[in-house]
Structure 1
Amino acid sequence: MNFSHLSLDHVGIRVTDLAVSERFYAKFGFIRDPEEYAPAVKACGLHHPSGLRLHLIFNGVSDPAGNVLMDVPVKYSGYTHAAFIIESMVGLVAWLEQERITITEGPVHMGHDRRVVCFIRDPDGNVLEFNEILQ
């Protein structure tokens, strides 16, 4: 099997309230894909004009401890976040302030100053990372 042309199809994100999560991700340009809405299996596909796709798995239950992969002392295995490339960290930070979306970490330089990153949380505490790649 040759995996030289492997690409990412979508990221699945477990959420507790589909309507709340759809409104949140719509702020970033994601819209529901009617062909990817499957209420019988509690999944709703969103797509972005850039070609990115998310699947919201709407069978989540809130945990008082927060995100069990990120917010508890014991570090369980699992996916911890999705990371997106953006054009301007300054522009993103200004937009996040305007939208009243809290930055939970950053902006900070990472990767030997190869990129500037910041992190936010969606309404369910799922972590989203944004990267401005520096020249």
Structure 2
Amino acid sequence: MKDRYQIIYNRPQAKDIVNDNSIIYDLNELAWLKEKHPEVLYLGDMYSENKIEAKNFNHFQLCVYANCENFISIHGGTATLASYFQGKNLIFSKKGPEHYFKCYQNLYPQFSGAAIYHAKTESSLLKYVSDLF
């Protein structure tokens, strides 16, 4: 997709978001991402520059999302936030309360009218990416 889209990787660090007692794991992926895919922008780096003078990380994140048309997100906060912006939001989620409550079908599309696509497996995620983007 990097040939057609500017990819921005957003995985907020603990210092950037409100503590909600969820465990935030360190995946140590940022060095790998910068080495293997230098064309991918990391939202945390963009925020460090903060050229738009956003008041905080959430403000910055909203400004960036407002200028995006397509999202690939993981269930939870990032999927919810991306659903507040029009366009396409492909959500990868294998299990969780969102499945039981049918959030991806009933709730998330109401936030902005975004087209919500739910991938439950890696293969369905890749198929959606191929078909949608």
TM-score by length of 1: 0.30
Higher percent of residues as strand: 1
Q: Which has the larger radius of gyration?
A: 1
Of structures 1 and 2, the one with the larger relative CO (CA 8 A, separation 6+) is 1
Bigger helix fraction: 2
